[in-house]
Amino acid sequence: MVNDAEGERLQKVLARTGFGSRRVCEDLIFDGRVTVDGEVAILGRRVDPDVAQIFVDGVPIPTMPGLVHYLLNKPAKVVSTAADPEGRPTVVDLVPREPRVFSVGRLDYDTEGLLLLTNDGAFAQMLTHPSHGVEKEYLVEVGGGALSPAALRSLREGVELEDGMTAPARVAELDAGLLKIVIHEGRNRQVRRMCEAVGHPVLRLVRMRIGNLADQRLKPGEWRHLTLDEVLALGEVAVKGRQPTRKGSMRGTTIRS
């Protein structure tokens, strides 16, 4: 712990991240909503922003200099791991080499769409924690034509997979064999296996949204930094289970040419 003479005042560190004025940050501390390294902070607390793990309402606040959060539109035929034994292109080849980052969860080699990359372990852990269940929205083209009402019902209510039943999902058939599927679990190849289980193998899979985060301007292979607001909003979605307010993430997306 940093003693009284060292470090910076907590409200100053919080205010610098854009969390609010120093006064607002003092109120947060006073109300017991801020923790530092797992302990509820008191007013007057000083911290070393290079190492302190600061949370507000359970949401990690990226105060350490050098933390980066990227949103990548992953193209197909790219692996989500940092290195591939088969020498295939990886998502880390698509973003700056330094600082070294890792992907938050993964998309299959053939899956396209939004993927977060970061060097912020607390942020990644929060988003991938199974109890947080951040929504992920996919646009899915399947084989086998239009889905029967029974197949749609199964997808919505839960599908028996080898690792157990899937949780209820939101599923809309936008066109014959073109689905919007929203899930909050993160099992391996889940959407592909769900569709396969109801007799409609996936032909193309695109992740359109993660929590409140969508971006129709990002072209395949392009990335951008998340804003601090986006980082904090994702944290809130993860911790509080709040769902996005911005709608229309699928608009303008053409999966079929």
Pick 111 or 212: Cβ nearer ligand URA: 111
103 in contact with ligand URA (CB under 6 A): no
191 in contact with ligand URA (CB under 6 A): yes
| Positions 109 through 128 that interact with ligand URA (CB under 6 A) | 111
In sequence order, which ranges of 134-247 are alpha helices (DSSP H)?
Answer: 149-157, 190-197, 228-240
107 in contact with ligand URA (CB under 6 A): yes
* Listed residue (248, 246, 204) closest to 229, CA to CA: 246
The beta strands (E) that lie in the chain are given as 8-9, 34-36, 39-40, 46-47, 54-56, 59-60, 69-74, 102-103, 112-118, 136-142, 160-161, 164-165, 170-175, 178-183, 202-210, 223-225
Binding segment (CB under 6 A) for ligand URA, from list 123-131, 186-194, 211-219, 221-229: 186-194
The number of angstroms, rounded, from the C-alpha of 136 to the middle of its chain's C-alpha atoms is 8
| Positions 196 through 225 that interact with ligand URA (CB under 6 A) | 205
CB burial class (10 A; 0-12, 13-18, 19+) of residue 98?
Answer: exposed
Please give the biggest Cα pair distance in the chain. Answer: 69
192 in contact with ligand URA (CB under 6 A): yes
Tokens in use for 105?
Answer: 């969860």
Binding mask 144-183 for ligand URA (x = CB under 6 A): ----------------------------------------
35 in contact with ligand URA (CB under 6 A): no
Name the active-site residue from 27, 84, 93, 108.
108
Tokens in use for 256?
Answer: 């079929």
Q: Is 57 a catalytic residue?
A: no
CA-CA distance, 207 to 205, in Å (whole number)? 7
Binding segment (CB under 6 A) for ligand URA, from list 9-17, 21-29, 96-104, 107-115: 107-115
CA-CA distance, 178 to 215, in Å (whole number)? 20
Pick 122 or 234: Cβ nearer ligand URA: 234
Q: What is the closest distance, in whole angstroms, from the C-beta atom of residue 124 to ligand URA in the complex?
A: 17
CA-CA distance, 208 to 112, in Å (whole number)? 9
189 in contact with ligand URA (CB under 6 A): yes
Q: What is the closest distance, in whole angstroms, from the C-beta atom of residue 110 to ligand URA in the complex?
A: 8
Catalytic residue list:
108
Residues binding ligand URA (CB under 6 A): 107-108, 111, 189-192, 205
